[in-house]
């Protein structure tokens, strides 16, 4: 039986380093139309892969709820793939993944809101509340406005 690798990492992560010949379908854009995309590989074993295996396990469950494909998780993800001596296609460019940038910016804004509310004026706590509300919205809707904004910056163009 033939097999195919579906990489569920975000597009910016995939474009920096990936397994040659793999297909990128980011977890963040998972919809029922995935089933249609995966049907093209119905006669093959579909190996779901991410950086470490966590997102791949979540996607495996989502696929199981929406369509019937022969899928399995590549345990350990891209990290394990490389540890086993397998090759990846690497773009020689330093890059911080978008979601890590989101964590850095949101953490900074929450910290600034708390510190400024203690030092300058109590109303600065609303900055932290605003950031928290944005994170809650992103978690519920799988839509991160900050990630979309950060992806437009010149250093995120790959």
Q: By residue range, what is the domain housing residue 142?
A: 98-156
Indicate whether 18 and 55 sit together in one domain.
yes
The pLDDT score that the predictor gives to residue 92 is 65
Minimal CA–CA distance to 9: which of 40, 54, 46? 54
- pLDDT in the model for residue 102: 92
17 & 83 share domain = yes
Contacts of 57 (CB under 8 A, 6+ apart): 73
Q: Both 106 and 123 in a single domain? A: yes
CATH code (residue 29):
3.40.250.10
Note the pLDDT of residue 31.
Answer: 66
Mark which of 36, 60, 90 sits at the end of a domain: 90
pLDDT for residue 112: 97
pLDDT of residue 46: 84
Same domain, yes or no: 69 and 139 = no
Output the CA angle 130-132-137, nearest 5 degrees. Answer: 95
What sign results for the dihedral spanned by CA atoms 147, 148, 152, 158?
A: positive
Domain boundary among 39, 69, 90: 90
Q: Is 50 a catalytic residue?
A: yes
Which of the residues 35, 50, 67, 144 is marked catalytic? Answer: 50
Interatomic CA distance for residues 109 and 62, integer angstroms:
33
Number of domains into which the chain is organized:
2
pLDDT score for 32: 58
Global pTM value: 0.65
Tell whether 44 and 113 lie within a shared domain.
no
Q: Are residues 83 and 107 in the same domain?
A: no
Say yes or no: 102 and 126 in one domain: yes
Is there a single domain that holds both residue 61 and residue 27?
Answer: yes
Burial bucket for residue 6 (CB in 10 Å: 0-12, 13-18, 19+):
buried
User: Do 70 and 25 fall within a single domain?
Assistant: yes
Is-contact 92 74, C-beta < 8 A?
Answer: no
**What is the overall mean pLDDT for the chain?**
85
C-alpha span between 25 and 34 (Å, rounded)? 8
pLDDT of residue 153: 83
Q: What is the pLDDT along the chain (158 residues), one digit of tens a residue?
A: 478 898 988 888 888 889 998 988 888 776 656 777 777 777 788 888 999 988 888 888 877 777 777 788 888 999 999 999 999 988 766 678 788 889 999 999 999 999 999 999 999 999 999 999 999 998 888 788 888 888 888 877 75
- CA distances (Å), 64 to each of 42, 98, 152, in order? 14, 28, 34
What is the pLDDT at residue 158? 58
Clarify whether residues 72 and 102 are in a common domain: no
| Shared-domain flag, residues 23 and 51 | yes
pLDDT at residue 67 in the model = 73
* CA–CA gap between residue 36 and residue 78 (Å, rounded): 25
Within this chain, do residues 78 and 135 fall inside the same structural domain, yes or no? no
């Amino acid at each position: 039986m033939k097999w195919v690798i579906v990489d569920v990492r975000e597009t910016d992560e995939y474009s920096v380093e990936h397994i040659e010949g793999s297909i990128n379908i980011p977890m963040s854009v998972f919809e029922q139309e995935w089933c249609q995309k995966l049907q093209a590989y119905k006669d093959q074993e579909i190996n779901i892969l991410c950086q470490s295996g966590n997102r791949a396990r979540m996607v495996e469950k989502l696929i199981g709820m929406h369509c019937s494909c022969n899928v399995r998780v590549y345990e350990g993800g891209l990290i394990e793939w490389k540890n086993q001596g397998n090759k990846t296609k690497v773009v020689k460019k330093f890059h911080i993944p978008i979601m890590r940038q989101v964590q850095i910016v949101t953490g900074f804004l929450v910290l600034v809101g708390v510190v400024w509310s203690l030092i300058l004026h109590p109303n600065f706590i609303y900055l932290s509340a605003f950031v928290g509300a944005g994170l809650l919205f992103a978690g519920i809707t799988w839509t991160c406005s900050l990630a979309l904004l950060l992806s437009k910056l010149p250093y995120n163009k790959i």
